[in-house]
């Protein structure tokens, strides 16, 4: 029995990693005053970019690297692609004062198309590609990394000058501007960094956790991460607990499916229903950064 | 007048920029942009059957576009159209299961719309009572609908002769093609009529006014004696009726299958196409209908693009994402 509980906890932990990474990224982004509802799309892009780019580097460009490095490279290039998308979203949101929600929707639509298109265009298969063994990563170290990152992010936001600057841009950009902070730049960098974490979450899904790329691999996890941002009240430390709760329901869904308790369609609903219930239960208490989602314009 | 010209110009710039970047992406991934675009944009216009097929594709997009557009007026980001389309289609299939004669048609509309409205009530009430952001709740409802409908279509409502789809709408309850040999049924005029009706509703009815003023500023709305909660609820319900109808029509008015595919292929993505239509049309119901015609042409054209130039069909969604990205740059937030 204890062994079973231990196993379920481990499964929940591994399922929580993508949600945690994406949540941490979005907390950083929103703390600086930018909202990115394109997290889901960035996650999808990361899930494709990681395995696709290492496949290209190794099999088509003939790049030589020590074997164990490939999975790491896959995650790093995915994060780089995520940062690039974040730069675009951050530039539109901060410098151009564009509509952040619409830009986020655009990222989601673009990614849904690009991943389906990319799998077809690169591998010539429709919507589903197995990850080769040489590119697979062990999920456990990534889980450890994500929790350590949560601690680091908490320290950054609450205990350093840089964190105070980021939070000031999200709470009161006018005041931040008046003391000489470049609000636009802070928002741009925070958005790019946050987006790179969402893409890393996606690469974790394809390279480490599920060992496959599909056109629906993120399956709403990006939006669950958005729910977790609210659930954790924009606090990276609480995000760990929140991600574990959401991850638990994800793991539970697969467990019940394996046990054959109910049809798999029913068990697959569990994470979404749980998210709805959790969000309905806690949202009243949450306090978002005051200027989140609002463009800042110098008078 | 100047504002209208300006927004037409802005939209044209967004389209041109998106197609230019799309062409570069196509070229970089080894496809021929010239052949692809010519198959995508000109083939549907060059043939009457293809053009009518494009119009048939546009009908559900008009409806889901209205869902999102009405939401926008109320200040909502209602992306639940997708799931509500599934529920509408489910209602139509259930009606065919219950009635094996002409009565299946009115029953399909009633059941489909009722299910879609029920589905939208969850995010609506969560938003009103608990302040839950509708972006998150509607996406969750979409996924629950996805699995629920897949389960029911592969069990209770499965077609024993063709297990890849649901039972078919009874012969007498089907909307037949208006032009022989095409997919164009009554669904198309109905969808465009819905756009006109929605325009009249939001522009000239008192409830449309209440929705708009609540969306612009809930505090001002309260000062005028308008209850923003009720306006929100109404916007959700109107949107759900449109999306539900889109789902129903995809089943009862879509030759030759007159059924719901088990993998939901004939309803999948319609909610998201509607978002694109609503944004291209800048939330104006008539402009949304016009945008849906354009998206219908893209949809029909993408089939020809895949056949003639080998470029994957999914390219359509990439171009939609790019168009919206450029629209986002232009849509400056109100100060």
- Give the domain ranges of chain A: 18-218
pLDDT at B152 over 90: yes
Contacts of A220 in chain B (CB under 8 A): 139-140, 143
Total-model pTM: 0.93
Size of interface A-B (CB pairs under 8 A): 155
CB-closest option in B79, B132, B325 to A103: B325
CB-closest option in A37, A110, A266 to B321: A110
pLDDT at B333 over 50: no
Nearest of B77, B82, B111, B106 to residue B94 by alpha carbon: B111
Residue B16 lies in a domain: no
CB-closest option in B139, B148, B314 to A220: B139
Residue A91 three-state SS: helix
* Chain A, nearest residue to B28 by Cα: A121
| Domains held by chain B: number | 1
Contacts of B318 in chain A (CB under 8 A): 110, 113-114, 117
Query: Which pLDDT score, from 0 to 100, does residue B6 have?
Result: 82
Element (H, E) at A243: helix A236-259
Contacts of B148 in chain A (CB under 8 A): 265, 269
Q: What is the mean pLDDT of chain B?
A: 93
Which of B139, B280, B282, B322 to mutate to probe the A interface, most A CBs <10 Å? B139
Nearest chain A Cα distance for residue B179, angstroms: 33
* Chain A, nearest residue to B79 by Cα: A105
Give the separation between CA B301 and CA B295, rounded to whole angstroms. Answer: 9
Nearest chain A Cα distance for residue B103, angstroms: 31
Place of tokens 């591998």: A123
Residue B262's domain comprises 32-333
Give the separation between CA A291 and CA B303, rounded to whole angstroms. Answer: 45
Place of tokens 């609002």: A294
Give the separation between CA B294 and CA B55, rounded to whole angstroms. Answer: 9
Under a CB-based contact definition with an 8 Å cutoff, are residues B302 and B313 in contact?
A: yes
Residue B261 three-state SS: strand
| DSSP result, B220-248 | HHHHTT--HHHHHHHHHHHHHHHHHHHHH
Give the burial string for B232-261 (b: 16+ CB within 10 Å, else e): bbbbbbbbbbbbbbbbbbbbbbbeebbbbb
The CA-atom distances, in angstroms, between A203 and each of A146, A199, B65 are: 13, 6, 33
Express each pLDDT in B241-296 by its tens digit: 999 999 999 999 999 899 999 999 999 999 999 999 999 998 999 999 999 999 99
pLDDT at B334 over 50: no
Beta bridge partners of A130: A212
- Which pair of tokens denotes residue B66? 């209205």
Contacts of B143 in chain A (CB under 8 A): 219-220, 269, 272
Express each pLDDT in B167-204 by its tens digit: 999 999 999 999 988 899 999 999 999 999 999 999 99
Element (H, E) at A245: helix A236-259
Contacts (Cβ under 8 Å, ≥6 apart) of A109: A41, B272, B275, B276, B317, B320, B321, B324
Nearest chain A Cα distance for residue B181, angstroms: 30
CB-closest option in B316, B330, B335 to A113: B316
Residue B29 three-state SS: coil
The CA-atom distances, in angstroms, between B196 and each of B51, B68, B282 are: 22, 15, 16
Contacts of B153 in chain A (CB under 8 A): none
Contacts of B136 in chain A (CB under 8 A): 223, 226-227, 230, 275, 279
Express each pLDDT in B319-329 by its tens digit: 999 999 998 88
Residue A31 three-state SS: helix
Which of B69, B274, B319, B329 to mutate to probe the A interface, most A CBs <10 Å? B329
Contacts of A23 in chain B (CB under 8 A): none
Under a CB-based contact definition with an 8 Å cutoff, are residues B68 and B295 in contact?
A: no
CB-closest option in A109, A223, A279 to B317: A109
Query: Which pLDDT score, from 0 to 100, does residue A284 have?
Result: 59
Q: What is the mean pLDDT of residues B12-39?
A: 93
* Chain B, nearest residue to A265 by Cα: B147
Which CATH number fits the domain that encloses residue B151? 1.10.3470
* Chain A, nearest residue to B128 by Cα: A280
Distance of CA B8 to the CA centre of its chain: 22
Contacts of B324 in chain A (CB under 8 A): 102-103, 105-106, 109
Nearest chain A Cα distance for residue B331, angstroms: 6
Contacts of B132 in chain A (CB under 8 A): 279-280, 283
Contacts of A121 in chain B (CB under 8 A): 29-31, 312
Query: Which pLDDT score, from 0 to 100, does residue B331 have?
Result: 59
Residue A251 three-state SS: helix
Which of B24, B124, B144, B273 to mutate to probe the A interface, most A CBs <10 Å? B144
A259 burial class (0-12, 13-18, 19+ CB within 10 angstroms)? exposed
Under a CB-based contact definition with an 8 Å cutoff, are residues A103 and B325 in contact?
A: yes
CB-closest option in B31, B133, B148 to A269: B148
Place of tokens 């068990």: A267
Under a CB-based contact definition with an 8 Å cutoff, are residues B84 and B120 in contact?
A: yes
Model ipTM over 0.85: yes
* pLDDT band, residue B89 (cuts 50/70/90): very high
CB-closest option in A92, A111, A276 to B140: A276
Beta bridge partners of A128: A214
At A124, give phi and psi (nearest 5°).
Answer: 70, 20
- A98/B148 touch (CB, cutoff 8 Å), yes or no: no
CB-closest option in B122, B137, B332 to A98: B332
A125 burial class (0-12, 13-18, 19+ CB within 10 angstroms)? exposed
Element (H, E) at A208: none
Residue B22 lies in a domain: no
Under a CB-based contact definition with an 8 Å cutoff, are residues B96 and B170 in contact?
A: yes
Residue A228 three-state SS: helix
CB-closest option in A215, A265, A284 to B131: A284
Under a CB-based contact definition with an 8 Å cutoff, are residues B170 and B92 in contact?
A: no
Nearest chain A Cα distance for residue B329, angstroms: 4
Residue B159 lies in a domain: yes
How crowded is the C-beta side of A58, counted as CA atoms within 13 Å? 18
Give the separation between CA B275 and CA B65, rounded to whole angstroms. Answer: 6
DSSP alpha helices (H): ranges in B155-255?
Answer: 187-204, 206-216, 218-223, 228-252
pLDDT at B332 over 60: no
Low-confidence ranges of chain A (pLDDT < 50): none
Give the separation between CA B146 and CA B86, rounded to whole angstroms. Answer: 7
* pLDDT band, residue B123 (cuts 50/70/90): very high
Express each pLDDT in B4-19 by its tens digit: 888 888 889 889 999 9
* pLDDT band, residue B335 (cuts 50/70/90): very low
Contacts of B77 in chain A (CB under 8 A): 101
């Amino acid at each position: 029995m204890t062994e079973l509980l231990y196993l379920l906890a481990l499964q929940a932990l591994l399922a929580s990693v993508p949600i945690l990474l994406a949540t941490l990224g979005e907390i950083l982004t929103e703390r600086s005053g930018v909202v990115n509802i394109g997290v889901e799309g960035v996650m999808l892009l990361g899930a494709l970019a990681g395995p696709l780019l290492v496949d290209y580097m190794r099999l088509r460009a003939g790049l030589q690297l020590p074997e164990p490095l490939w999975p790491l490279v896959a995650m790093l290039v995915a994060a780089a692609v995520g940062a690039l998308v974040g730069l675009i979203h951050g530039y539109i949101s901060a410098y151009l004062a564009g509509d952040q929600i619409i830009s986020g929707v655009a990222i989601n639509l673009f990614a849904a198309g690009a991943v389906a298109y990319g799998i077809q265009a690169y591998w010539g298969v429709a919507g589903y590609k197995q990850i080769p063994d040489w590119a697979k990563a062990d999920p456990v170290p990534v889980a450890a990394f994500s929790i350590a990152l949560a601690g680091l992010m908490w320290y950054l936001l609450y205990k350093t000058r840089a964190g105070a600057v980021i939070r000031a841009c999200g709470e009161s950009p006018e005041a931040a501007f008046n003391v000489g902070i470049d609000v636009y730049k802070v928002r741009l960098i925070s958005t790019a960094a946050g987006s790179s974490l969402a893409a890393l979450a996606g690469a974790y899904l394809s390279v480490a956790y599920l060992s496959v790329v599909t056109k629906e691999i993120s399956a709403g996890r990006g939006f669950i991460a958005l729910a977790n941002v609210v659930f954790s009240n924009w606090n990276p430390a609480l995000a760990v607990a929140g991600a574990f709760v959401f991850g638990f329901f994800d793991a539970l869904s697969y467990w019940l499916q394996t046990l054959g308790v109910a049809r798999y369609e029913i068990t697959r609903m569990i994470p979404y229903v749980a998210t709805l219930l959790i969000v309905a239960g806690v949202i009243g208490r949450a306090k978002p950064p005051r200027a989140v989602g609002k463009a800042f314009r110098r008078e | 007048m100047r504002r209208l010209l300006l927004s037409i110009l802005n939209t044209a710039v967004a389209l041109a920029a998106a197609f230019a970047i799309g062409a570069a992406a196509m070229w970089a991934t080894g496809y021929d942009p010239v052949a692809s675009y010519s198959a995508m944009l000109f083939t549907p216009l060059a043939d009457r059957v293809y053009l009518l097929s494009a119009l048939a594709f546009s009908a559900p997009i008009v409806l889901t576009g209205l869902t999102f557009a009405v939401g926008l007026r109320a200040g909502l980001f209602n992306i639940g159209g997708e799931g509500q389309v599934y529920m509408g289609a489910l209602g139509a299939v259930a009606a065919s299961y219950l009635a094996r004669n002409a009565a299946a048609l009115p029953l399909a509309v009633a059941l489909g719309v009722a299910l879609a409205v029920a589905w939208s009530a969850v995010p609506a009430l969560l938003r009103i009572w608990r302040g839950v952001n509708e972006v998150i709740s509607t996406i969750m409802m979409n996924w629950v609908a996805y699995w629920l409908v897949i389960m029911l279509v592969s069990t209770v409502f499965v077609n024993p002769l063709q297990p890849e789809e649901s039972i078919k709408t009874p012969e007498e309850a089907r909307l037949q093609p208006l032009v022989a040999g095409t997919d164009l049924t009554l669904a198309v005029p109905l969808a465009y009529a819905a756009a006109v009706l929605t325009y009249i509703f939001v522009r000239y009815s008192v409830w449309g006014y209440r929705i708009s003023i609540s969306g612009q500023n809930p505090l001002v709305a309260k000062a005028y004696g308008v209850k923003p909660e009720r306006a929100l609820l109404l916007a959700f319900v109107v949107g759900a009726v449109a999306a539900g109808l889109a789902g129903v029509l995809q089943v009862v008015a879509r030759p030759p299958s007159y059924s719901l595919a088990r993998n939901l292929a004939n309803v999948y993505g319609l909610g998201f196409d509607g978002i694109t239509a609503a944004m291209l049309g800048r939330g104006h119901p008539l402009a949304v209908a016009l945008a849906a015609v354009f998206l219908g042409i893209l949809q029909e054209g993408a089939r020809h693009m895949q056949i003639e130039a080998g470029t994957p069909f999914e390219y359509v969604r990439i171009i939609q994402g790019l168009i919206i990205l450029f629209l986002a740059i232009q849509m400056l937030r109100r100060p």
